[in-house]
Structure 1
Amino acid sequence: MDLYWLIPAFFAIALLYASAGFGGGSSYLALLALSGLPTGAMRPIALVCNLVVTGGSTVSFARAGVTPWRRALPLVGASMPAAFLGGRIQLARQEYLLLLGGLLLVAGILMIVGKGAKRTTEEKAGRRSAGIIAVTIGIGVGFVSGVVGIGGGIFLSPILFLSRWADARAIAATTSLFIALNSLAGLAGQLSVGLEWHLGLTAMLALPVAAGGWLGTRLTLRRFTPATIRNVAAVLILLVGARLVWSNWLMQL
């Protein structure tokens, strides 16, 4: 099957998602599903592309001084073991894609309609309780992300925005770091159960997503306002979730 059409599509996805601090894993999975690849082969490709995009974005955000390391590391540290365990769980193709779509719809709607708290998580709770909350969120999001085969930022970002955890650029930076390390953990979990990996196709798609991710991160740091970053994230989450639910449930009725 001719899969070269994925190159410009993956570039565009990386550009758009990186502008909100995401890796694009959910949309990579949607396109790979259209290509006819088996689910087991799709997930490693999406995670590697996530790593390429968010790895570069994480470095750029760190150099710009917008990454809140002290607050982000508990989230990430708790999520990685959970993502590894989630990556070992295998679901049937339709159930897997329907679960992914439903979760994304809920997340996108919350971002659109939710006003969020007026104070940040750390302002509402003491340092100790804020750390417990961060660890709990990290474990939950990490496990679900490992199961569905994405980095998890698309689930984490709505939680951080709705709780006013930090400003939009700091959330984008934290999300990018979270995705990069959880993609690595989820990939390790998947490969530990012997999933098929198309190395040639992965290599073919790595370059365009690297270029798109670089450009998207530049837009976030230099062009986009905080409101734009949030709106881009919410719209992308809703579009991907609606498409997956439509194709894997409503079309079956």
Structure 2
Amino acid sequence: MEIEILLPLIFLFVALFYSSVGFGGGSSYLAIMSIFLTDFYEIRSTALLLNITVVTIGTMMYVRHRVFDWKLFWPFIIPSIPLAYLGAQMKLSEKTFFLILGSLLILSSLSMITKYVEDRVKMRDFELWKRLGLGGLVGFFAGISGIGGGIYLSPVLNMMNWQNARKIASLASVFILVNSLSGLLGLLAVNTFTFDSQLTIRLIIAVFIGGMIGSYLSNKKFNTKIIGLLTAALVMYVGLRLLLLHGCGIKI
């Protein structure tokens, strides 16, 4: 099967899985494209465009269903935007980039698994400075790794029992959107934004369809536990593959 057909099909299902739990899928887009494409900057730029497509749908859905809450979300979002911009401007080697991404994905996968297997306890809020610091830190790593960062932020907030799962998913969606846009501007600022227009259009259409389905399931209060565990397994595989491939030269 040709790449023009295979990649959009794969990405449709990736977008469906990720959007159902408030994510954009950027981590998996990066890893999958690294198998088929050779231009490192093209891979990074395309992943951000796809992320923006998926989470724009999710954000609109959450706003429409009144799950989005700016008063709760702004301390995470505001500091993350400039730091994502700065992180995206860091010119890392391809090997360093994928080693950082792989490590962060494994940690995220473990956090996601913990989220779905543990019993929920009483929700609690925490101090403003902690929210500001966490948002800024995650935003910076999001910029470095070329994704929106929701996959890092959401598991942490779930483990800390901050708000309910749908509220956290809506925050993750908005967080990914603003930081993907900020990261995109960072790439433009250092002239590393590049993509194949024909392939990218096909991929955008695919993730748009997948994102619509996943966001619909999420906002209909569909039980996403199984999808979440499958997503965690996918994230773990992607992280391990990146570490083994770029750290040890082993393909799995």
Q: What TM-score does the superposition give when structure 2 sets the normalisation length?
A: 0.90
Aligned pair count reads 246
- Asked if structure 1 preserves the Cα contact closer than 8 Å seen for 2:28 and 2:235, the reply is no
CA gap 1:252/1:46 in 2 versus in 1, 3 angstroms: same
Deviations 1:6-28 (A, max 9, x none): 11111111111101111000111
CA gap 1:34/1:140 in 2 versus in 1, 3 angstroms: same
CA gap 1:84/1:116 in 2 versus in 1, 3 angstroms: farther
CA gap 1:149/1:18 in 2 versus in 1, 3 angstroms: same
Alignment of 1:176-195 (within 5 A): 176-195=173-192
Alignment-derived partner of residue 251 in structure 1: 249
Unaligned runs of 5+ in 2: none
Alignment of 1:96-111 (within 5 A): 96-111=97-112
CA gap 1:56/1:83 in 2 versus in 1, 3 angstroms: same
Alignment-derived partner of residue 240 in structure 2: 242
CA gap 1:202/1:81 in 2 versus in 1, 3 angstroms: same
Equivalent-residue separation in structure 1 for 2:38 and 2:66 (angstroms):
40
CA gap 1:227/1:164 in 2 versus in 1, 3 angstroms: farther
Equivalent-residue separation in structure 2 for 1:64 and 1:232 (angstroms):
26
> Structure 1 residues 230-239 or 178-187, which shifts more?
230-239
CA gap 1:228/1:167 in 2 versus in 1, 3 angstroms: farther
Alignment-derived partner of residue 134 in structure 1: 131
> Structure 1 residues 178-187 or 237-246, which shifts more?
237-246
> What letter corresponds to residue 33 of structure 1 in structure 2?
S
3-state SS of paired residue (1:249): helix
Alignment-derived partner of residue 48 in structure 1: 49
- Asked if structure 1 preserves the Cα contact closer than 8 Å seen for 2:79 and 2:135, the reply is yes
> What letter corresponds to residue 158 of structure 2 in structure 1?
F
Deviations 1:180-237 (A, max 9, x none): 1100000100111001412513223111111110000111122522644653553343
Equivalent-residue separation in structure 1 for 2:85 and 2:129 (angstroms):
20
- Report the identity percentage: 35
Alignment-derived partner of residue 209 in structure 2: 211
- Asked if structure 2 preserves the Cα contact closer than 8 Å seen for 1:45 and 1:198, the reply is yes
> What letter corresponds to residue 216 of structure 1 in structure 2?
G
Alignment of 1:72-83 (within 5 A): 72-83=73-84
Alignment-derived partner of residue 198 in structure 1: 195
CA gap 1:211/1:246 in 2 versus in 1, 3 angstroms: same
Alignment-derived partner of residue 224 in structure 1: 222
> Structure 1 residues 218-227 or 48-57, which shifts more?
218-227
- How large is the Cα RMSD of the aligned pairs? 2.1
Equivalent-residue separation in structure 1 for 2:146 and 2:137 (angstroms):
14
Alignment of 1:58-69 (within 5 A): 58-69=59-70
> Structure 1 residues 162-171 or 107-116, which shifts more?
107-116
Deviations 1:19-44 (A, max 9, x none): 11110001111111111232111111
CA gap 1:116/1:92 in 2 versus in 1, 3 angstroms: farther
Equivalent-residue separation in structure 1 for 2:224 and 2:214 (angstroms):
14
Deviation (angstroms), 1:239: 2.8
> What letter corresponds to residue 189 of structure 2 in structure 1?
S
